[in-house]
Structure formats: structure tokens, C-alpha cells
Structure 1
Amino acid sequence: MNTKLSVAIVAQDEEDRLPRCLESLFFADEVLVVDSGSQDDTVDIAGSFGCNVLFQPWLGYARQKQYAVDHCQNDWVLILDADERVPKETADEIKKILGEPSYVAYSFLRKSFFHDRWIRCCGWWPNRVLRLVDRRQGRFNDHLVHESWIADGDVKELDIVLEHYSFRNYADLIHKMQIYSTLAAEEMLQDGRRAGWWTPFSHGLWMFVRSYFLELGISEGFDGFMISMMNAQGSFMKYAKLRELEIRNLKLET
């Protein structure tokens, strides 16, 4: 059986990282890039690689990716971010799997890089992500952040890897931390979570201890220290923003 494969990518202003991703997708039958309003050359770059390109204003992480999956030509879809890359060994294994799929979805190990170094600490490794799916048998959840695919059947965990080049520099790391902490706070509020005045400090402190010492950030030099600090700051800000939202809502109710 020759099962065709689509790759679904959501992107915005990724001209510096998208080429590395697209160059690794030689094995796909279709690559669909859903752009949410790039101001750089992202769309032109996608077109130059022969990708199908759609424009969709940003719907949120889960809904945007679901939109991309729904608009692919094929039922088997590899879901990628523009800052990810598929090594040739992984591509070869995907082709073998699609010869006769035995599961409704497959997960991969993901190697994250920072300053072009593989970061093995701070909770970045091992990191498992579910990316190869039969779209007829699953869907994305509705989480605001840390969206994931919910498969309607058995999932196979593979020991092959995807490469992840998520943060360009420390400024990018801080910028994304602010975005994710805001979304996480909103989601926690919706789930009925609450934060005391001490909660941001206690969670931030624990996150640094866990990331830097228990998850061996200390072994990765300055990058390990900075990643641990950003993990701690992200946790601190998540609960600080949750507290802020609680106070705002109380004022609106009075």
C-alpha cells in the first residue's frame, strides 16, 4: 500500500527558519503552509519550494493547526512547526511506516537546539511529541497553550527524532515566554485555578531549582543557566498573571 503524506506547517514571519524545514521534506507528497499574516518573505519562500500556501488569520495554536490539517490533500499528515526539521533517517522511517501503517498516530523524540547546540538539560530532553497522524482518527484539543493531538486509537512511540530550533536568541526566548505565560494564565483561570500572592515566587523558585539542578542545567554552562532562569521567570509570570486576572475579575464583579 502506497499511503500518501501531507505535511502541515503553520507559520508567520519565519523567513530565517522555514528554508531549513522545507529542505528536509523531500519525501512528502504535499507540503501545506498556512500563513497567518507574515510581513517578511515567508510566503515567497514557501512558494519557491513548491508548497501549497493558504492564508488564515491567527485562530490560536490548536485551532490554527487543526485548520492546516483539515486543508491537507491527504489523510496522513505530518504536523510540523516552521522551526523544526526532519533528519533523513527519520524521513526514511516515516516512509517505511506509511507502507503499511499499524497505528492511528506516531510520536517522535524531539531534540531542541539553542545557539546551534543540542540542549540535553532543563527538561528539553527527552521531549516526546505526537506528529504523524491519520486525521480521520483524531483531532487537536482546545488548549490555549501546549496544544496536542488527541488520537482515537493506539499511538506508537518511535525512537527516531525531529530537530527543533525554537529560539533564535535570549530575546526570542523571553518574548515567547511572555506569550506562553499569558495564555497559560488565561487557561488556568478558565479551569478554576487560583494563585495567592506567594504563588508566583514559590513556583518560580521551584522551577529554577528543578531546571538548573535536578534537570542539570548547571551542566550546560551559561546557556543552561539562562534557560533555567527563563523557565523560572515563565513559571513566575504565569502565576503572577493568573493573580492579576483574578484581581481584575473581582473588581469587575464589585
Structure 2
Amino acid sequence: MKHAVSAVIITKNEEHNLGRCLASLGWVDEIVVVDSGSTDATMTIARSYGAKVLETPWLGFGKTKQLAVDSASNDWVLSIDADEEITETLRRGIESKLVNPGKQGYRIARRSYYLDRPIRFSGWRSDAPLRLFNRKHGRFNEKIVHESVEMASKPGLIKVHMLHYTFPSISTHLAKIDSYSALGARQLLEKGKKVNLALACLRGVVKFNKMYFLKLGFLDGKEGFVLAVISSFGVTLKYLRLWELIHKGPHDE
């Protein structure tokens, strides 16, 4: 008999993604959706799939995802984003692990799409976040961005890919960079990081060279080039915003 599993998702205005995600979760024992202020049809869609829906003010990615985990009825949790999808092959792989788990958590390989093209290089090739875990042995850290599950034991790996429809357009990528760079800058400030304008620009150049050349992003075609350019801009913007925060006077807070 396999262990029961709860799928947990955090949302805000995900009506364009959520239906596809939830349709791929018909095999789980429970779906928990924690929403932070959606003004579109997100919650209606969630309830139409029988999800348990909770509303909360935004707490940051780590804390909000942990709230979703804590709200689940089962100890085994599948954390999934609204723009992701579980294939039938991956479903079978997950269920086989849940029959007699040899680990307390599992990373799941992920194939991401950018501008509707699968990205096979650019540093995304080895992407395998920890998404299936026993909440008695793991929990999300409290990072406001780039959160992850932390656990004492080494997780296993499910090699079948989860599908990730990350940025269907340049506009969606830029919108996320605007949000994430602000959060990332605040996080760096709290850690006491320092930066100057030259270093901010240099970090962007390094990011581009790493993604496009070292990680073979040029093999992802035109989309790989666009991905590297915008990603490097995102890094530069994060450090420019850190520079701005450092140089703000008390009257600017």
C-alpha cells in the first residue's frame, strides 16, 4: 500500500496555468492551494478541482510554501508550482516510490520551457528540485525568494521529468525579474552584502557568459540567447537595487 500524498501549491493570479497543473494531479489524495490575493479566477479553478483552498497575506516564498505544507492532511507532500505539470510517466514513478520509500525525500528532474521551447542546456539541464518529501523530516526554509526544502538526510532522485512552463513570453520573464530582483536585493541587504556599480555590471556579464557559453546556452538556439540576455539583466538589476538600498538615506525608508 502506498503512502497517502498531499499536493501543495501557492498561487496568486494563476488562472492561465492552474487548470493544467491541477488536471495532472487527479491521482493524489489531497490538493491544498494557498492563495495570496488573487483577483482573477484562480480560486474558482482550484475549488472546481476539489482543492482545499486557504487565503493568506503574502509571507514570502519560503513561509507561504511551509504554510501550505503545514495545512496538508498527509505527511508525504508533493510541492508543485502552478506552472508545472506531472506527466503520466512521472505519476507512476512517484507512486512507486511511495509504496516503500527508501528515502525521506526525492528530487524530481524538471524540463523547463522558455518561449514555448524546451530548454536543454543554459544551466537548466540538471535542474532537479526537492519536491516530494515527508514533512516530518523536511521543511521549507524561510527565504523570501529562492526558497528550498531542507532536510538532514540525503534525498533520492526521480529521473522522469516534471514539465515546467516557465516563461511563455518575454513580458512574463521581465515581470518576474522585476519582482525577484527587488526581493533578492532585500535578501542580500539583510545578509550584509556590499556592492558597487562596476561589480553589479560585472555580475551580469559573468551570468551571461556562464549561461550562454559555459552551460552551452547557444545550443538552445535563439531562445537560449534571449534567456541568457534577460537572465544576466536580472542579476545586474538585483545588484543595482542592492546598491540603491545601501545608499538610501533614513528619510527614504
Which 10-residue stretch deviates more, 129-138 or 117-126?
117-126
**Which residue is 2:73 aligned to?**
73
Q: Measure, in 2, the Cα distance between the counterparts of 1:168 and 1:178.
A: 16
- For the Cα contact (< 8 Å) 1:122–1:228, is it kept in 2? yes
Q: Measure, in 2, the Cα distance between the counterparts of 1:116 and 1:87.
A: 17
Deviation at 1:62, TM superposition (A): 0.4
What letter corresponds to residue 163 of structure 2 in structure 1? Answer: E
Deviation at 1:217, TM superposition (A): 2.3
Q: Measure, in 2, the Cα distance between the counterparts of 1:130 and 1:79.
A: 9
Deviation at 1:208, TM superposition (A): 1.3
The answer to whether the aligner puts 1:21 opposite 2:7 as a matched pair is no
Which 10-residue stretch deviates more, 207-216 or 143-152?
207-216
Q: Measure, in 2, the Cα distance between the counterparts of 1:224 and 1:106.
A: 29
Which 10-residue stretch deviates more, 150-159 or 87-96?
150-159
Q: Secondary structure at the match of 1:59?
A: coil
- For the Cα contact (< 8 Å) 1:104–1:152, is it kept in 2? no
**Which residue is 2:49 aligned to?**
49
Deviation at 1:216, TM superposition (A): 2.2
TM-score of the aligned structures, taking structure 1 as reference length: 0.95
Give matches, 1:79-98, under 5 Å.
79-98=79-98
Deviation at 1:14, TM superposition (A): 0.8
Q: Measure, in 2, the Cα distance between the counterparts of 1:88 and 1:115.
A: 24
Deviation at 1:116, TM superposition (A): 2.4
Deviation at 1:191, TM superposition (A): 1.1
**Which residue is 1:208 aligned to?**
208
Deviation at 1:54, TM superposition (A): 1.1
Q: Measure, in 2, the Cα distance between the counterparts of 1:201 and 1:78.
A: 38
Two-structure CA RMSD over aligned residues (Å): 1.4
**Which residue is 2:187 aligned to?**
187
TM-score of the aligned structures, taking structure 2 as reference length: 0.95
Which 10-residue stretch deviates more, 113-122 or 77-86?
113-122
Which 10-residue stretch deviates more, 192-201 or 70-79?
192-201
Which 10-residue stretch deviates more, 212-221 or 169-178?
212-221
**Which residue is 1:252 aligned to?**
250
Q: How many residues were matched structurally?
A: 251
**Which residue is 1:237 aligned to?**
237
Deviation at 1:200, TM superposition (A): 1.1
Q: Report Cα offsets for 1:76-134 as digits up to 9, x if no partner.
A: 00000000001111100111111111211110111001232211122222211000010
**Which residue is 2:104 aligned to?**
104
* 4+ residue segments displaced more than 3 Å: none
Unaligned runs of 5+ in 2: none
What letter corresponds to residue 29 of structure 1 in structure 2? Answer: D
Deviation at 1:252, TM superposition (A): 2.7
Q: Measure, in 2, the Cα distance between the counterparts of 1:195 and 1:116.
A: 35
Q: Measure, in 2, the Cα distance between the counterparts of 1:125 and 1:199.
A: 28
**Which residue is 1:134 aligned to?**
134
Q: Secondary structure at the match of 1:19?
A: helix
Q: Report Cα offsets for 1:137-183 as digits up to 9, x if no partner.
A: 12111212110001132311221221111213101101101111111
What letter corresponds to residue 26 of structure 1 in structure 2? Answer: G
Q: Tell me the percent identity.
A: 38
Q: Secondary structure at the match of 1:145?
A: coil
Q: Measure, in 1, the Cα distance between the counterparts of 2:27 and 2:217.
A: 36
